[in-house]
Amino acid sequence: MKAEHINPFLKSTVETFKTMVNLGVTPGKPYLLKEPTHMDISGVIHISGDIIGILAMAYPLATALKISSKFLGEEIKELNKNVTDCIGELSNIISGFAKKDLKSLNVSISLPKILRDQCPSVDMPKGAPVMCVPFDSEVGNFVMQICHID
């Protein structure tokens, strides 16, 4: 994806976490994914229209639990429906906010699909480059993966 297509997702992630979770997140240096990575839970959104791709917000369990606890305002100690709902909702908000910054393009976003424990790695199209952007926060790290499909 072009920088002008990725930047709205970066901006949206920072703003979503600040507004919805009261959590500052800082993007790190982007890199191309070389090997599938294991994350405990991921929120996956498919993008279609003028740009076609996949957005995955991937979290280690400890980070997902802390983010969900902050988002919901109650302590969550184990992976449950509240956590999957929270990760799905955050993925949906991030992609929705990014979509408004891509208004010059005809773009549709899917409902989020949640991958957890039994299916931890996001299945990206074979041969398509996957750009990863790590994020740091006071509750742990997570990764945004963006794949552009030609």
* Three-state SS annotation for 27-42: ECCCEECCCCCCCCEE
The residue range of the domain holding 65 is 3-148
Q: Residue 79, CB half-sphere, CA atoms under 13 Å: how many?
A: 17
Distance between CA atoms of 84 and 65, rounded to whole angstroms?
A: 10
Q: What's the pLDDT at 111?
A: 93
* Residue 49 CB partners (closer than 8 Å, separation 6+): 105, 106, 107, 108
Q: pLDDT of 6-40, one tens digit each?
A: 899 999 999 999 999 999 999 999 999 887 777 89
- Tens of pLDDT along 97-133? 999 888 888 999 999 999 987 554 566 667 778 899 9
Q: What pLDDT score does 6 carry?
A: 87
As for how many domains the chain has, the answer is 1
| CATH code for position 48 | 3.40.1550.10
Separation between Cα atoms, residue 71 and residue 27, nearest integer Å: 20
